[in-house]
Amino acid sequence: METIDSNAVEAVAGRLLSAYESFEPIAPVRAGLEASGIDAAYGVQRATTDAWVSMGRRIVGRKIGLTSTVVQQQLGVDQPDFGALFAHMSLTDGEAVPAGAVLQPRVEAEVALVLDRDIDHPDVTISELIRAVDFVVPAIEVVGSRIAGWDITILDTIADNASSGMFVLGTRPVAPGDIDLREIEMSMSVDGQVVSTGTGAACLGHPYLAALWLARRLATEGDPLRAGDVVMTGALGPMQPLVAGREVVATLSGLGTVRTSLEESA
């Protein structure tokens, strides 16, 4: 592991926090992180999430990003990443994304897991992971980027809390034993026109494999997944722009439908 330049991490974190505050995108931040690579990018992410926690915001789960080969190709990366989900990011099925809440918003359909126990072993097995899942729901992730024009590498997106924005959860829980997540089929439409399709297998081969990767990674770092956490397991197909006034509907076979929209600016 390279020695992380704490001054560079602090500087990049400050730039990103300012972008959130001003709601103005900034130039890519990767140049300040390349010397220490991914470790430095996660250092920035920890600095920004720590700042939000100090403001009173509450972490309610994690998101896994870049699990779909298609999305990896879109962004020019070759591995997944993760970020923190906060309570203020959570929306209910049918609820609109407030205008001005997410910079450069895009949407993607996902499987969301909700846990009923902690997962704190770095060598957690797949059977232990499955036992830790309380229920499964369909979800839409509203991703956003503080980097102008979505000009990102993996360093930019990790530093930017894995390009998190908001997330919308369905309200009909499904027991994990009642569905084969690998075989589900996803269709996402905008105003009735299909814009993205995929299957559960698009998410690292299986949404549970994505969750297993995350659980092991976080447990190894001493910051494990906890009971009640939401885990957004990753996109099942290409993400699409979220345009004000247009309804987005994601249908996942066996899980149901979830929908959202973006409020018009005043």
Q: Locate the domains of the chain by residue range.
A: 59-260
CB 144 within 8 A of CB 106: yes
- Model pLDDT, residue 1: 45
Homologous superfamily assigned to 59-260: Fumarylacetoacetase-like, C-terminal domain (3.90.850.10)
pLDDT above 70 for 53: yes
The distance between the two most distant Cα atoms of the chain, rounded to a whole number of Å, is: 51
95 CB-contact burial (10 Å; exposed 0-12 / middle 13-18 / buried 19+): middle
Residue 69's pLDDT is what? 72
For 176-219, what is each residue's pLDDT tens digit? 999 999 999 999 999 999 999 999 999 999 999 999 999 999 99
pLDDT of 231 > 50? The answer is yes
pTM given for the model: 0.95
The reported pLDDT for the residue numbered 35 is: 84
Distance, in Å, from the CA atom of 26 to the CA atom of 20, rounded to the nearest integer, reads 10
What pLDDT does 70 receive?
A: 67
Reply yes or no on whether the pLDDT at 133 is more than 70. Answer: yes
pLDDT at 213: 95
Cα R_g (the chain), whole angstroms: 17
pLDDT in tens, 56-91: 999 999 999 988 776 667 666 677 899 999 999 999
